[in-house]
Copies of this chain bind each other. A is one copy, B any other.
Amino acid sequence: MLAAEPAKPVKKEPAPKRGRPAKPAAEKAPAKRGRPAAKPASGTAKTAAGNGKKSRAARKTPVRIIPLGGLHEVGKNITVYECGQDAFLVDCGMGFPDADMLGVDLVIPDFTYLEKNADKIRGIVITHGHEDHIGSIPYLLRKINVPIYGTKLAIGLIEGKLKEHGLLGKADLRVITPKQTVKMGCMSVEFIRVNHSIPDSVGVAIHTPAGVIVYTGDFKVDFSPIEGDIIDLARFAELGSKGVLCLLSDSTNAERPGSTMSESKVGQSFNTLFNRAEGKRIIVATFSSNIHRIQQIADNAMKYGRKVAVSGRSMINVVGKAMELGYLKVPDGLFIDIDAINRYPADKIVLITTGSQGEPLSALSRMASSDHRKVSVTPNDFIIISATPIPGNEKHVTRVVNDLLKLGAEVIYEKMYEVHVSGHACQDELKLILSLTKPKFFIPVHGEYKHLVAHAHLAQSVGIPPSNILIGDIGQVIQVDNVEMKVIGNVEAGGVFVDGLGVGDVGSIVIRDRKRLAQDGLIIIVATIEKETGACMAGPDIVSRGFVYVRESEELMEEARLLVKKALNQCLDSGIRDWTTMKNSIKDALSSFIYRKTKRSPMILPIMMEI
């Protein structure tokens, strides 16, 4: 299916169009994250022509693709494209912390490589306005200020974000439209309409001296989108006919057979359910960024003579922005303030709220725990959770559903009706894009390793040879030219934790301590020692937190205190004044005692004061 390029006589590499000297390789910083060579695809992918025998093709100026996030993970999408002395970014997203990243609010990419190469970076291209594609922009902007290109909605949402961070005046935001092309030094970026769960999403075709690189962005194929155009399949096909060097495509749903249902399907379900909810108030929880979903809720509200109110900070923000920019098309007076809902009969109201993932502080969670200042849930509520729990959120959602049911409400959740569709392409759509673009090389992106592997298998099934497929990792410098694709080095990459106002001040040691404290709590020992004599003037006292109920374990704690006292005295008696030694012998004695008695390992923290 994919014929190898015909061999051509070797000639000198032409300089890129803008005339900058081509530098062969990216900076080779030490790799932060060592991973075994990706299988089943090899680290070095060559065409048949370049494989084994010496290549005779004219080598073009190579492009370097450096993913700094979005591989082996869901979220934190950010990729650098470099050619010669020019570079630009596609997306700049954030990640959500795993359950074991205790206390971490969000995870942003490691920007070290970008800071070192700031002078090369011509801009940032944004494919759509989801957090995992725009969420790290404020953090990067504080270090590097380059133009940011995105569609009107994405730029609108970025503006809101920058405003919160007090950075709005600083940024150079540029609105683009699909089919438009933007120059990035020797490369240029063409925007291509795609469908996704937020309006105005695009993929990109990156025109480089080495050839055309296509990145789908997050996408699905929706032949009946709620608003806007169908994904521009014709342009993907046209690029494919002319020759696509490399395709990077969204792997999120690569494990799912078939095609993703159209968003319009959800509207039909809403119609059925709104009909069934007659006489009751309707509450719908969904993602605030899914403006097409909100449009369909509004359309059905209108049909059934109901007013619409919104609850939840992000819902209020996004709905406001979407109305202002014309993405949400509703007649005047349909939307009312949440404070006004009680002026209407319950069956004349639809309330749209955040909290579809059961997030503990969200509006829906607060309603469920009777803790929402403005909305009390009763048996007269008909509640639709228009979302599927993201892996890891199942228990949160179940808790909210249980609590809402206990308040007597009728609740539609999970797979009970088709009240949610994914924003990502399933296997048939992925194969469609692969078949239309007919890339020489393929890099599956966006997803856990298992998703990338599944996508690689799909690519093989449509005829891309395994040697031309690369399962990459973040920090890898993937060099592509017309002959081969290979990993030529690594740059610093990883996740930087944001906790409150702190960026990067919580790292692996802090997290390790938090885990230990979470598991078994801690025991603190304090003693005041006289410098001269070594006499213990006060203490040792013992204080614990998160370990045991102190009142019920007085005996244990007193025994522990005496043990510490003994260990301390032994040190002092044998003339030990070195605090590290003293602390260690106290720690050793106490931790083995505690483990023997309780089979637990609390953190033990001896603090000595000297007077």
Kindly state the separation between the CA atoms of A407 and B450 in the bound complex, as whole angstroms.
Answer: 12
- Shortest CB distance A393–B (Å): 9
For window 461-508 of chain A, which residues contact chain B by CB distance below 8 Å? 499-502, 505-507
Kindly state the separation between the CA atoms of A98 and B98 in the bound complex, as whole angstroms.
Answer: 16
Whether A510 pairs with B546 at a CB distance below 8 angstroms is: yes
- Counting CB contacts under 8 A, is A605 at the interface? yes
Whether A391 pairs with B395 at a CB distance below 8 angstroms is: yes
Kindly state the separation between the CA atoms of A501 and B607 in the bound complex, as whole angstroms.
Answer: 28
Kindly state the separation between the CA atoms of A526 and B502 in the bound complex, as whole angstroms.
Answer: 25
Residues of chain B lying within 8 A (CB to CB) of residue A411 = 450
Whether A545 pairs with B526 at a CB distance below 8 angstroms is: no
Kindly state the separation between the CA atoms of A506 and B520 in the bound complex, as whole angstroms.
Answer: 10
B-contact bits for A20-38, CB 8 A (1 contact / 0 none): 0000000000000001101
- Counting CB contacts under 8 A, is A598 at the interface? yes
Kindly state the separation between the CA atoms of A380 and B610 in the bound complex, as whole angstroms.
Answer: 62
Residues of chain B lying within 8 A (CB to CB) of residue A527 = 609
- Counting CB contacts under 8 A, is A3 at the interface? no
**Contacting residue for A541 out of B521, B538, B609, CB 8 A:** B609
Contacts A391-B398, A539-B609, A543-B607 given; does A514 touch B505 at CB 8 Å: no
- Shortest CB distance A39–B (Å): 4
Contacts A406-B39, A450-B401 given; does A607 touch B545 at CB 8 Å: no
Whether A521 pairs with B528 at a CB distance below 8 angstroms is: no
- Shortest CB distance A179–B (Å): 38
Contacts A502-B600, A609-B539 given; does A522 touch B528 at CB 8 Å: no
For window 532-552 of chain A, which residues contact chain B by CB distance below 8 Å? 537-539, 541, 543, 545-549, 552
Q: How large is the interface on A (under 10, 10 to 19, 20 to 34, 35 or more residues)?
A: 35 or more
Whether B609 pairs with A538 at a CB distance below 8 angstroms is: yes
- Counting CB contacts under 8 A, is A276 at the interface? no
Contacts A102-B519, A513-B545, A546-B514 given; does A611 touch B537 at CB 8 Å: yes
Residues of chain B lying within 8 A (CB to CB) of residue A599 = 500-501
Residues of chain B lying within 8 A (CB to CB) of residue A547 = 510
Kindly state the separation between the CA atoms of A608 and B440 in the bound complex, as whole angstroms.
Answer: 71
Whether A99 pairs with B102 at a CB distance below 8 angstroms is: no
- Cβ-closest chain B residue relative to A521: B514
- Counting CB contacts under 8 A, is A321 at the interface? no
Residues of chain B lying within 8 A (CB to CB) of residue A552 = 505
Whether B394 pairs with A449 at a CB distance below 8 angstroms is: no
Whether B549 pairs with A98 at a CB distance below 8 angstroms is: no
- Counting CB contacts under 8 A, is A266 at the interface? no
- Shortest CB distance A504–B (Å): 8
Whether A524 pairs with B524 at a CB distance below 8 angstroms is: yes
Contacts A539-B609, A543-B607, A600-B502 given; does A517 touch B520 at CB 8 Å: no
Whether B505 pairs with A548 at a CB distance below 8 angstroms is: yes
- Cβ-closest chain B residue relative to A507: B549
- Counting CB contacts under 8 A, is A584 at the interface? no
- Shortest CB distance A603–B (Å): 7
Kindly state the separation between the CA atoms of A609 and B448 in the bound complex, as whole angstroms.
Answer: 52
- Counting CB contacts under 8 A, is A405 at the interface? yes
- Cβ-closest chain B residue relative to A449: B402
Residues of chain B lying within 8 A (CB to CB) of residue A517 = 514, 517-518, 521-522, 545-546
B-contact bits for A571-611, CB 8 A (1 contact / 0 none): 00000000000000000000000000111100101010111
Residues of chain B lying within 8 A (CB to CB) of residue A413 = 450
- Cβ-closest chain B residue relative to A602: B103
Whether A514 pairs with B518 at a CB distance below 8 angstroms is: yes
**Contacting residue for A607 out of B40, B395, B541, CB 8 A:** B541
Whether A538 pairs with B405 at a CB distance below 8 angstroms is: no
Kindly state the separation between the CA atoms of A79 and B526 in the bound complex, as whole angstroms.
Answer: 48
- Counting CB contacts under 8 A, is A515 at the interface? yes
- Shortest CB distance A537–B (Å): 5
- Counting CB contacts under 8 A, is A228 at the interface? no
- Cβ-closest chain B residue relative to A610: B538
**Contacting residue for A521 out of B103, B507, B539, CB 8 A:** B103
- Cβ-closest chain B residue relative to A414: B255
- Cβ-closest chain B residue relative to A415: B255
Whether B505 pairs with A398 at a CB distance below 8 angstroms is: no
Contacts A526-B609, A609-B526 given; does A548 touch B510 at CB 8 Å: yes
Residues of chain B lying within 8 A (CB to CB) of residue A392 = 394-395
- Cβ-closest chain B residue relative to A516: B546
Whether A597 pairs with B501 at a CB distance below 8 angstroms is: yes
27 residue pairs bridging A and B, Cβ less than 8 Å apart: A39-B406, A102-B546, A103-B518, A255-B414, A255-B416, A391-B398, A394-B394, A405-B449, A406-B449, A499-B598, A499-B600, A501-B597, A501-B598, A505-B548, A505-B552, A510-B546, A510-B549, A513-B545, A514-B521, A522-B522, A524-B605, A527-B609, A528-B537, A528-B611, A538-B610, A538-B611, A541-B607
Query: Which A residues lie at the B interface, using CB under 8 A?
Result: 35-36, 38-40, 72, 98-99, 102-103, 255, 379, 391-392, 394-395, 398, 401-402, 405-408, 411, 413-414, 416, 448-450, 453, 499-502, 505-507, 509-511, 513-515, 517-522, 524, 526-528, 537-539, 541, 543, 545-549, 552-553, 597-600, 603, 605, 607, 609-611
Extra contacts, 4 of them, besides A391-B394, A607-B607, A611-B611 (Cβ < 8 A), are A102-B518, A255-B414, A517-B518, A522-B522
